A = this chain, B = another copy of it.
Amino acid sequence: MAQDLKLTKNQSLVFDKLSAAPGPLSAYDLLDQLRDQGLKAPLQIYRALEKLQEIDLVHRLESMNSFVACAQPNCHAKTGLVAFAICEKCGVVSEFSDEVVQTRLAAWADERSFTTTKTSLEIRGLCQGCG
């Protein structure tokens, strides 16, 4: 909420909803939960999400078509790679990063002159409590 200053009304609504959620939400989940606040169309959600992703306040989970608020105050996505561990039972998502993995992937790309724009790394499984 502190850095919401730059956010528009719709962006704030979406970000606050995601921040308060215990797990990832789909765009349509968000829409359903924000109809009270006047949002009516999917595009309103997707546009807010798009901006929030650009500034790394929100991440998209590719493997489940849904979105989470960033866990870190200063997300590592800004500088490097973010990874997610997703529990398939309780839905909890852990955001983390790993220098070694990041270095390793950078090396792979460098050796092949591959210019990386975005990396997605998602681990699915069961968390400690659910395993």
Residue numbers of A with Cβ under 8 A of B are 62-63, 83, 85, 87-88, 94, 96, 98, 100-101, 104-105, 108-109, 112-128, 131
Contact A114:B125 (CB < 8 A) given known A100-B100, A101-B101: yes
Q: Tell me whether A109 and B122 are in contact in the complex, defined as CB-CB below 8 angstroms, given that A62-B62, A131-B114 are known contacts.
A: no
B120 lies within 8 A of A126 (CB): no
Identify which of B87, B114, B121, B124 contacts A85 (C-beta below 8 A): B114
Knowing A63-B120, A104-B101, the reply to whether A113 touches B128 (Cβ < 8 A) is yes
Tell me, rounded to whole Å, the shortest Cβ–Cβ distance linking A46 to chain B: 16
Q: Which residue of B lies closest to A103 (CB)?
A: B100
Cα distance A109–B128 in the bound complex, in angstroms: 9
Q: Which residues of B contact A63 (CB under 8 A)?
A: 62, 120
CB pair B88 A120 closer than 8 Å: no
Query: Do the beta carbons of B109 and A98 come within 8 Å of each other?
Result: no
Q: How many Å from the CB of A77 to the closest CB on chain B? A: 14
Considering the complex, give the chain B residue whose CB is closest to the CB of A130: B115
